[in-house]
Amino acid sequence: MADPSKPRAPFAPWDRRELPGAFSVEETARRVGHYKWIEMKIFELMGGWVATVPELDVKLRLGTHCYHHAFHSELWHKRLPELREMNPDKMTVPPNEEMEAFVEALGAPEAADQTIEKLVGLYRVLLPALIAAYTYHRNNTSTITDMPTIRSLGFCLQDDMEEWLEGEMIIQSLLDSPEAIDRASAHQAKMTKLMLAAGGVTGPGSVGSFDVEDALGS
């Protein structure tokens, strides 16, 4: 028989979670602010592409994915005030100038014949970096004190993984010549270097300790 005077463990016998996570409230708010900023930028960019890309099948997918990122941005907007009443507008900023430069380059291919470049920058560079940042955050925050953030991360990751798959399928359908493959490879390399310089979607440390200057050979 259990001893009623003995203190009970804080969790059920099958639950051995630890209270502390890797992030303070301030660090969580910083990351969430960057998430909201990049999700807004993706939504705006994809919304513009829907009206300009000539391929109908691409338009349809971009329209669906665009809605996902509007939803993600709203999730993060609602989460910020819950983190010690952080002001959403003040926290909605890019992590650094390098990330701003990445987003500018992402939207640079504007011509109707540059669908490959548009999609490669988004689905082969930005989306994987965002998935990596979300996954790192989810795996390193507290499952007790930060469950609302984990829930939002789960919604975002579910959408983003689906988009990643569908985006790559579309890219594969467009790579119908050696020249198209060269274009995709060159643009992916360019955008990946810009992402490296930014240190990821939340800046250096987006997916853990990482020295950008060492990686770039500075």
**Domains of the chain and any CATH numbers:** 25-201 (1.20.1260.10)
Each residue's pLDDT tens digit, 49-93: 999 999 999 999 999 999 999 999 999 999 988 877 677 888 999
Each residue's pLDDT tens digit, 97-155: 999 999 999 999 999 999 999 999 999 999 999 999 999 999 899 888 889 999 999 99
Beta bridge partners of 208: 206
How many Cβ atoms from other residues are within 10 Å of residue 147's Cβ? Answer: 11
- Alpha carbon of residue 153 to chain centroid: 10
Residue pair 100/106 in contact (Cβ under 8 Å)? The answer is: no
